[in-house]
Amino acid sequence: MVTLSVDNTRCQGHARCLAFAPEVFDFDDEGYAFVPEDKQIWDELPEDVKQAVANCPERAIVVSESSPS
Ligand code: SF4
Per residue in 10-19, pLDDT tens?
Answer: 999 999 999 9
Q: Look up the pTM and report it.
A: 0.92
What are the extents of the domains in the chain? 2-65
- Whole-number Å distance, alpha carbon 56 to ligand 1 midpoint, is 5
- Architecture of the structural domain at 2-65: 2-Layer Sandwich (3.30)
Q: What are the CA-CA distances from residue 26 to residues 1, 33, 44, 45, 61 (Å)?
A: 21, 6, 20, 17, 12
Task: Give DSSP secondary structure letters for 1-22.
Answer: -EEEEE-TTT-----HHHHH-T
Per residue in 3-56, pLDDT tens?
Answer: 999 999 999 999 999 999 999 999 999 999 999 999 999 999 999 999 999 999
Instruction: Return d(Cα 61, Cα 69) in angstroms, integer.
Output: 24
For a substitution probing ligand 1, which of 55, 58, 63 has the most ligand atoms within 8 Å of its CB? 58
Instruction: Return d(Cα 56, Cα 8) in angstroms, integer.
Output: 13
Residue nearest ligand 1's atom 6 by CA: 17
First to last CA, the chain: 10
